[in-house]
Amino acid sequence: MDTFIRLTREQEIGANSYWIGDDKNGLVLDAGMHPKQYGGDAMPNYKLLNSLAVSAAVVSHSHLDHIGTLPYFLQQYPKINAYVTEATMKLGEALLHNSVNVMTSQRLELGITEYPLFTHEEIDIAMDQIRTVKYNKTFKVSDYPGCKLTFYDAGHLLGSACILIETPDKKILYSGDIQLEDQTLIPKCSISDPKAIAALKNIDTLIVETTRGASPRDPNYTRKNEERRLAQAIQKSLNLGGAVLIPVFAMGKTQEVLMMLHNFFESGQLKKAPVKIGGLSTKMTRIFDELADSTPRIYPEFSLLEAHNIKGTPRHKRSRKREPLVTQPGNIYVMSSGMMVPKTLSNQLAESLLPNSKNGLFFVGYCDPETPGYAIQQTALKESVSLGGGRPKVARLCQVGSFDFSGHCERDSLKQWIIDLAPKQALLVHGDLDASTWFEEELKKALPNSTIITPQAGKPYPL
């Protein structure tokens, strides 16, 4: 194993996928889909693999930007295996089937003839090539002589993994997406204490995410204070007789917020109120609950659906005169999508929520500047904002707040983790150019004896 190639098309977060290998064997790391591109442009540049050996694949976790084109990729390599954790397999399978539905709709609405990139049946076929693995158990890779893998809990999402790749001459660690602090439900990365770091110190190459490199965090930030702020904001709206909307991603953030709300209720920070989720979020939460006794979490064996008395997808009342879904006073709506893109539940509920000063709209994650969620956060009180989809603008009268509960490690902690590992080489991936540039500059100063590189798309680099 002597070469690394970035299969992503641009220097940004998107269709994450990388190849490492040599003339005889190769390993593909992740098979993502770009969230802002369409058709073939949304896929990694798999054509680069035509002249390369492909022996196996690994998937770090089940977010679409890491697993979104796995069925398409495995169609091209029907004899190889893809290695994932059990949680990644189950969450990823559900997410991929939902993705087929989305792509099918986009084919009709946007005229994207390439969609869907794969079918429901092809997902089922791809699942036959999936091999599930356990954390902290080293195993040999079939069809890749001399290659061993060890998955470690990455702390980012249920089932997420940092992956150690060992061959007779190289030791490489792929971080995937990583969180070095405990979240509400998901515990921090298992490679975080001094003993675990020491065991991996001086590896040959670290392939590491740089997501938050351009986003310094308030030095006074604590998660406890951020949770307190959120509980107080929710209670303020409920006390006024309003409703609360928390836009979330169906997988990961939904479950974190549900756990957080339960803790607020139990501790008395928040008076008990009905919590509503829907659609894909319910399916994903059910999978989280099914795995409650077999995956690392801060609250073992805890059932989120049972705690909030959620039995299925809720029915929302619709106004006879208007199309949008209507919020009901006193309810807390934890609805996808997190960025409030058109035609999602959070976007539709916002039309009735925004014009009422009693209501609250609270963001708990990142919003892309091109999305309605971002636009709302930039809209002053009493000004109007577009929710997209060709609808009229809506007056923003409700309370709006933003809270930092990112599943990605903040940059200074991640920088120190890299310094402590002291790899001979660090390849900086999964970050916009300004983010990876910050890491590159900082690490070159801190690790003068290490090679620090932000690899360009499609260019080979020695491992």
Domains of the chain: 3-215+407-462 (3.60.15.10), 223-402 (3.40.50.10890)
* Tokens standing for residue 15: 């269709």
pLDDT at 335: 96
- Backbone φ and ψ for 195, nearest 5 degrees, come out as -65, -45
- Backbone φ and ψ for 459, nearest 5 degrees, come out as -95, 135
Query: For 224-383, where are the E strands, in sequence order?
Result: 244-247, 275-276, 332-335, 360-363
Could you give the CA distance from residue 86 to residue 58 in angstroms, rounded to a whole number?
A: 13
Peptide bond into 337 cis (omega under 30): yes
What percentage of the chain reaches a pLDDT higher than 90? 92
Residue showing tokens 């798309």: 457
State the burial class of residue 363 (Cβ atoms within 10 Å of its Cβ: 0-12, 13-18, 19+). Answer: buried
What average pLDDT score do residues 447-461 get? 97
318 has a pLDDT exceeding 70: no
Could you give the CA distance from residue 156 to residue 162 in angstroms, rounded to a whole number?
A: 10
Angle between helices 253-267 and 280-290 (to 10 degrees): 70
Residue 322 — pLDDT band, cuts 50, 70, 90? very low
* Tokens standing for residue 348: 């539709």
Residue showing tokens 């890749």: 144
Per-residue pLDDT tens digits for 298-316? 999 999 999 999 975 444 4
pTM (two decimals): 0.94
- What mean pLDDT value characterizes the chain? 95
Q: Which residues contact 453 (CB under 8 A, 6 or more apart)?
A: 425, 426, 427, 428, 440, 461
168 has a pLDDT exceeding 70: yes
pLDDT at 202: 87
What percentage of the chain reaches a pLDDT higher than 70? 97
pLDDT at 311: 77
pLDDT greater at residue 56 or residue 390: 56
Per-residue pLDDT tens digits for 34-92? 988 999 999 999 999 999 999 999 999 999 999 999 999 999 999 999 999 999 999 99
pLDDT at 312: 56
Residues forming a β-bridge with 161: 153
259 has a pLDDT exceeding 70: yes
pLDDT at 25: 97
What average pLDDT score do residues 262-283 get? 96
Residue 7 — pLDDT band, cuts 50, 70, 90? very high
Contact 187, 214 (CB under 8 A): no
| HEC letters along 336-379 | CCCCCCCCCHHHHHHHHHCCCCCCEEEECCCCCCCCHHHHHHCC
Could you give the CA distance from residue 208 to residue 226 in angstroms, rounded to a whole number?
A: 27
Per-residue pLDDT tens digits for 323-377? 457 899 999 999 999 999 999 999 999 999 999 999 999 999 999 999 999 999 9
What average pLDDT score do residues 110-135 get? 96
Where b means 16+ CB within 10 Å and e means fewer, 237-258 reads bbeeebbbbbbbbbbbbbbbbb
Residue 12 — pLDDT band, cuts 50, 70, 90? confident
Could you give the CA distance from residue 188 to residue 156 in angstroms, rounded to a whole number?
A: 7
The helix or strand, by DSSP H or E, that contains position 96, with its residue range, turns out to be: helix 86-110
pLDDT at 313: 47
Contact 216, 411 (CB under 8 A): yes
pLDDT at 11: 79
